Structure 1
């Protein structure tokens, strides 16, 4: 397997089970992915995939090749991180992955400051709720909201930043309406993955009395609360900074998760990564009260 580009494409098809999904992940067109897979099959003299109605499935030969290809990928990633670590210039690309809400509702002004202070560093923000693969160098640094620190991959280097809290919020307008009723109070806006409501959020409400609205991300959830539909559990750093929202009276706040900054291998040794790590740690610390739900603009005081 001399051509690493072909191997990379093969692994993407194997993992996604689809040429289209592999094309999207690699940002290559459909025909290029098919051509590289065909080149690899010709080189090895074996068929690597069966094309089924459900997608592309590895043949026995393909499954055997996959394990070897993954070893190549790991070696390639290690080599890249070591080469990256030797580059001590405060110039060039720095790819940072973090959740969209963290970018939009908390850190964008800080990231703007970093860019102004270090204009020679090309800061690339990867904003996604899906975790990037640092081992495959999809990013140099990842900031993640971690719900259980024991779930952190052992091969990554982690630095704990700060705990994050969440509360129950409703729009100020809905709370002030003369027609405000128990029915309004009990209308929940939930994310699709929510599996029931925690006990701490149920004070003074009956979650079974009104069917909830379900959305698939926190931005839609926030928009629904702003539209006076009902109430939702939201991160304090998102909702407390929104003057249209208020915490539900007599409700509590609760621990949500912990922000961690993660790197892989020797990447953390570069000046760019060390500089960014020190900068973002200081900025997150400066947001401590907001993250804990004890911001100067307390929701109950709006």
Structure 2
């Protein structure tokens, strides 16, 4: 059994971060500190407890039995701490104070950033702490009070409001669209990140028979490379339609994709400032529903 009485919560959160991330560097990124700080804290905990918490493998750091047990205790402490602080904050009925908000990059240029700016103007005493992340993770692991997520389903212990399902289609530069009509073999698909994804998904788009090149792991790289080269990319319509230099490719199908969700913590349902933000975001999506759903402009 691991002795944890002589180890502070501040130390334990470093152990928990390493256990979740699987490496010192990734844990440092998640905690917002440098690599050396995490390594120093981890070494200090191991020396204090007199036991090794992680071992090195080809996949990264792997928790020992003692490390796994300590990480479990740390996760329980984290949950208890968040519940206690959230319950205290949940009694606050005033429209002021901080709200930690997590949203994916794709929704920012599509108009959600502008909606948050409008909310901040309407409620000047509410401070938004914004994180832009495309991580698909359980809500309990996010340092957020409210999360807008793109997902097929949500099984977190969170209050979830499904806003709508969005669609995606194929985009290219105007030059590439013209090139596709006169010299189809000169155009390529941009690949994503995983080797095991294959090319089957391109057949669903209706634009078939083209080779795939490169590995571009996220939307920003896809957009920039597609703007400047003879490539096609598959994007959510709400993201592709607002990109200067990109147009929809004729003949490409509209493909049903994930849904947009607004999530918050159950223990914060009485927090007035959080309710105000959820209502503002719901109005924003309702007012621009056809845009987010990918309905073509008439």
Q: What TM-score results when the alignment is normalised by the length of structure 1?
A: 0.84
Match for residue 264 of structure 2? 263
Q: Give the count of matched residue pairs.
A: 289
Pick closer, same or farther for the CA change 1:200–1:57 going to 2, 3 Å.
closer
Equivalent position to 1:61, from 59, 66, 80: 66
Counterpart CA distance in 2 for 1:231 and 1:92 is 44
What residue number does 2:193 align with?
A: 192
Alignment of 1:259-298 (within 5 A): 259-296=260-297
Spell out, residue by residue over 1:96-149, the C-alpha distance to the aligned partner (whole angstroms, 9 max, x if none): 111112112331221111111111111122111113553245011111111x22
Distance in 2 (alpha carbons) for counterparts of 1:243 and 1:42: 55
- Relative to structure 1, the CA distance from residue 231 to residue 56 in structure 2 (aligned partners, 3 Å threshold; closer, same or farther) is closer
5 Å-filtered alignment, 1:203-218, equals: 203=207, 205-207=208-210, 210-218=211-219
The answer as to whether partners of 1:158 and 1:262 remain within 8 angstroms in 2 is: yes
User: Aligned equivalents of 2:156 and 2:294: distance in 1?
Assistant: 31
2:21 counterpart residue number: 16
Q: What is the alpha-carbon root mean square deviation over aligned residues? A: 2.6
Q: Which runs of 5+ in 2 are unaligned?
A: none
Q: TM-score of the superposition, structure 2-length normalised?
A: 0.85
Relative to structure 1, is the Cα distance of residues 278 and 51 closer, same or farther in structure 2, using a 3 angstrom cutoff?
same
SS at match of 2:33: coil
Q: Name the counterpart of 2:249.
A: 248
Task: Identify unmatched segments of 5+ residues in structure 1.
Answer: none
Distance change >3 Å, CA 40–CA 225, structure 1 → 2? closer
Whether the 8 Å contact between 1:74 and 1:136 is mirrored in structure 2 is no
Q: 1:103 pairs with 89, 103, 108, which one?
A: 108
Q: 1:283 to 1:83 in 2, by over 3 A?
A: same
Residue number among 28, 47, 51 corresponding to 1:47 in the alignment: 51
